[in-house]
C-alpha cells in the first residue's frame, strides 16, 4: 500500500511539473515594455539604444503597445527584474523603494501610488536568457541572453556602440554570472501609454527588465505575456547625465573664481 501511495504521489508531482513547464512555454510575448530613464526625462519612454543607459537610482517601465499585442492591461504576476553582474568584488543586492508612481497615461495623466514587493533572489544565471531562467517560457524573447549582457557590460561587441571599450560600465571585469532579483508590482491596471516610475539603488552594470502575464491571447488561445526586449532594456552605467556635468562644470568654475579673488586679495 505504501509503495502504491509513493508511486501515486510521484506521478502527481511529475504531472504538475510537466503542466507548469507546458504553460510557461506557451506564453506568447508582445515586446510592449520599455525601460526608461525616469519620469520627466527625455528617454522616459525608452530610446531604443539597445540597451538604454539608466542611472543607479531612478528608472521607469513604459507600456508602448504594438500591433501584435491585445493591448490589455498587465495582470498578475507582474515583475520588475534586476540582473546584477557577478565578478570579483561585485555587489549583488539591488534595492527598490516599496512604492512606485504610476502615470495613467504618461505624461499628462493621473498619478497613483503602486506597491512594490520585497526583493526575491532567484539565483545566478550563467547561460541562456532571463525569462527562461525564471521559468517564464522559451517563447518570450531569447535576445535577453547572457552573451548580449556580458558584451555590453564589458564593452566587447555591444550592440550599443556607445558602450564599447572603456565606456562600458564593467570594462576589464570577468563576469561569471548574473544574480536575478525580482520585485512584484502591485497593480493589474497597467495599460497602454502608462508609466511606472521607480527609485532605488542598483549595482553598476545591472540590467533592468520586466514581465507581466494576463489572461489569454485571443489570437492564439495561449497565455499572453508582456516583456522587455534586450533592445529596450536598461543598463546601469556610471556615465553622469548631461545636467550633472553642467552642474559639475559650474561648481568648478565657481571655485576657480573664488580662488582667484583670494589670490588678488
Q: What is the pLDDT of residue 16?
A: 32
Q: Read off the pLDDT band of 182 (50, 70, 90).
A: very high
Q: What is the pLDDT of residue 29?
A: 65
Report the chain's mean pLDDT, rounded to a whole number: 82
If one counts the domains in the chain, the total is 1
Q: Read off the pLDDT band of 70 (50, 70, 90).
A: confident
Distances (CA, A) of 18 to 13, 15, 36, 51: 9, 5, 36, 34
Q: Read off the pLDDT band of 238 (50, 70, 90).
A: confident
Range of weakest confidence among 4-8, 145-149, 152-156, 181-185: 4-8
Distances (CA, A) of 223 to 28, 29, 128, 170, 229: 6, 9, 22, 37, 18
Q: What is the pLDDT of residue 74?
A: 85
List pLDDT tens digits, range 18-56: 333 333 455 666 678 999 999 999 999 999 999 999 999
Q: Read off the pLDDT band of 243 (50, 70, 90).
A: very low
Q: What is the pLDDT of residue 143?
A: 86
Q: What is the pLDDT of residue 61?
A: 97
Q: Is the pLDDT of residue 239 over 60?
A: no
Quote the pTM value: 0.80
Domain that holds residue 158: 31-240
78: in domain: yes
239 or 172, which is more confident: 172
Q: Is the pLDDT of residue 261 over 90?
A: no
Distance (Å, whole) CA 1 – CA 202:
54
159: in domain: yes
Q: What is the pLDDT of residue 27?
A: 64
Q: Read off the pLDDT band of 250 (50, 70, 90).
A: very low
List pLDDT tens digits, range 86-107: 999 999 999 999 999 999 999 9
Q: Is the pLDDT of residue 189 over 70?
A: yes
Distance (Å, whole) CA 173 – CA 86:
9
Q: What is the pLDDT of residue 75?
A: 74
At 263, phi and psi to the nearest 5? -65, -35
250: in domain: no
Q: Three cell numbers at 101?
A: 508612481
Q: What is the pLDDT of residue 139?
A: 61
Q: What is the pLDDT of residue 37?
A: 97
Helices (H) and strands (E) in the chain, counts: 4, 13
Amino acid at each position: 500500500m505504501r509503495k502504491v501511495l509513493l508511486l501515486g504521489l510521484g506521478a502527481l508531482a511529475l504531472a504538475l511539473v510537466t503542466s507548469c513547464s507546458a504553460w510557461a512555454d506557451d506564453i506568447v510575448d508582445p515586446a510592449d515594455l520599455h525601460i526608461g530613464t525616469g519620469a520627466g526625462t527625455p528617454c522616459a519612454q525608452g530610446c531604443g539604444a539597445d540597451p538604454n543607459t539608466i542611472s543607479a537610482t531612478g528608472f521607469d517601465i513604459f507600456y508602448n503597445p504594438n500591433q501584435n499585442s491585445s493591448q490589455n492591461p498587465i495582470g498578475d504576476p507582474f515583475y520588475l527584474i534586476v540582473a546584477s553582474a557577478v565578478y570579483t568584488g561585485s555587489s549583488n543586492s539591488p534595492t527598490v523603494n516599496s512604492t512606485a508612481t504610476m502615470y495613467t497615461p504618461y505624461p499628462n495623466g493621473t498619478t497613483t501610488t503602486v506597491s512594490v514587493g520585497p526583493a526575491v533572489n532567484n539565483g545566478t544565471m550563467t547561460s541562456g536568457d532571463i525569462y527562461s531562467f525564471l521559468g517564464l517560457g522559451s517563447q518570450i524573447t531569447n535576445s535577453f541572453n547572457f552573451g548580449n549582457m556580458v558584451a555590453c557590460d564589458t564593452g566587447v561587441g555591444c550592440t550599443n556602440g556607445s558602450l564599447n571599450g572603456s565606456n562600458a560600465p564593467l570594462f576589464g571585469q570577468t563576469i561569471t554570472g548574473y544574480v536575478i532579483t525580482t520585485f512584484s508590482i502591485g497593480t493589474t491596471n497597467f495599460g497602454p501609454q502608462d508609466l511606472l516610475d521607480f527609485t532605488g539603488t542598483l549595482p553598476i552594470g545591472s540590467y533592468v527588465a520586466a514581465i507581466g502575464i494576463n489572461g489569454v491571447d485571443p489570437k492564439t488561445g495561449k497565455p499572453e505575456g508582456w516583456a522587455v526586449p534586450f533592445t529596450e532594456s536598461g543598463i546601469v552605467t556610471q556615465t553622469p547625465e548631461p545636467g550633472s556635468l553642467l552642474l559639475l562644470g559650474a561648481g568648478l568654475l565657481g571655485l576657480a573664481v573664488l580662488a582667484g579673488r583670494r589670490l588678488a586679495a
